[in-house]
Chains A and B, each alone.
Chain A
Amino acid sequence: GAVVSQHPSWVICKSGTSVKIECRSLDFQATTMFWYRQFPKQSLMLMATSNEGSKATYEQGVEKDKFLINHASLTLSTLTVTSAHPEDSSFYICSANGGQTEAFFGQGTRLTVV
C-alpha cells in the first residue's frame, strides 16, 4: 500500500506555544488530506479536510484559527496547533488520498501540552 509519513511521532510543548505536525505522502500525490484527532479510549474524529492549493474545510466545532492547516503541495500537509493548551493534548492522525478508493494513514502524533 501507499506510504504516508507523519512527523513528529510525539511532542511535548508548553502551554501557550505552537506546534507544527507534518504529513507527507511518500510515493503518491495526495490531492486530499484529512486530519483526525483521537482522545484516549475514543474514536477518531475528523477535524478538517484539506485539498492541495485551497483552504481547508473544517468540521463543526473545530476552530480554524487555532488549528491551522496548510496543503501547499501534493505531497505535504501541515497542521499547526496554535497557543496550545492542555485540553489540546491528543493523538493527531493524518490520512492521505490520491484518488485511490482507500485513504492511507500516517503513524500519528502524540501531543502533550504541559
Chain B
Amino acid sequence: QKEVEQNSGPLSVPEGAIASLNCTYSDRVSQSFFWYRQYSGKSPELIMSIYSNGDKEDGRFTAQLNKASQYVSLLIRDSQPSDSATYLCAVSRRFGNEKLTFGTGTRLTIIP
C-alpha cells in the first residue's frame, strides 16, 4: 500500500465547473496535509495547507480533511484553464521542519 494515494487521472473538467481531487494516506499519526500544484517542468507550488478536521477555504479552493477516514480532498470552484496542472497531495507527521511524503499526483485538465 502506498503511503499517499491519489487517482492519477487524467481528470477532465469543463471550464466553470467544480474540480474534485482526492487523496488517502496510510500513516495515522500524520498531522499536516498539503496540496501543491505543479505545472509541467516546474517546481511544486503550495495551494492549500490543512491541519484539523473539516473544511478550509481560500478563494476558489477548499481543502477538506477527515482524519478518521484518512482522507483529504481539494475542491476547485469555477475552474479555469490556468488550473490545468498536476495536483500533488503531501503529508507529514509533524508541524514544520518535517519531510513531506507525496502522492503521485492527479493530472487535471480544464476544458474551455
Check if A102 sits within 8 Å of B49, measured CB to CB. yes
Give the segment of A13-21, A42-50, A68-76, A78-86 that binds chain B.
Answer: A42-50
Give CA–CA (A106, B101) in the complex, Å. 17
Q: For B51, what are the chain A residues with a Cβ–Cβ distance below 8 Å? A: 101
28 contacts between A and B (CB under 8 A): A1-B46, A32-B97, A34-B100, A42-B104, A43-B102, A43-B103, A43-B104, A43-B105, A44-B44, A44-B88, A44-B102, A45-B102, A46-B100, A46-B101, A49-B99, A93-B43, A99-B96, A100-B96, A101-B49, A101-B51, A102-B46, A102-B49, A102-B96, A105-B44, A106-B43, A107-B43, A108-B42, A108-B43
Check if A101 sits within 8 Å of B95, measured CB to CB. yes
Q: How large is the interface on A (under 10, 10 to 19, 20 to 34, 35 or more residues)?
A: 20 to 34
Q: Is A97 an interface residue (CB 8 A)?
A: yes
Give CA–CA (A95, B74) in the complex, Å. 22
Distance in angstroms from B26 CB to nearest chain A CB is 15
Give CA–CA (A82, B103) in the complex, Å. 28
Closest 7 CB pairs of A and B: A108-B43, A43-B102, A43-B104, A44-B102, A32-B97, A105-B43, A101-B96
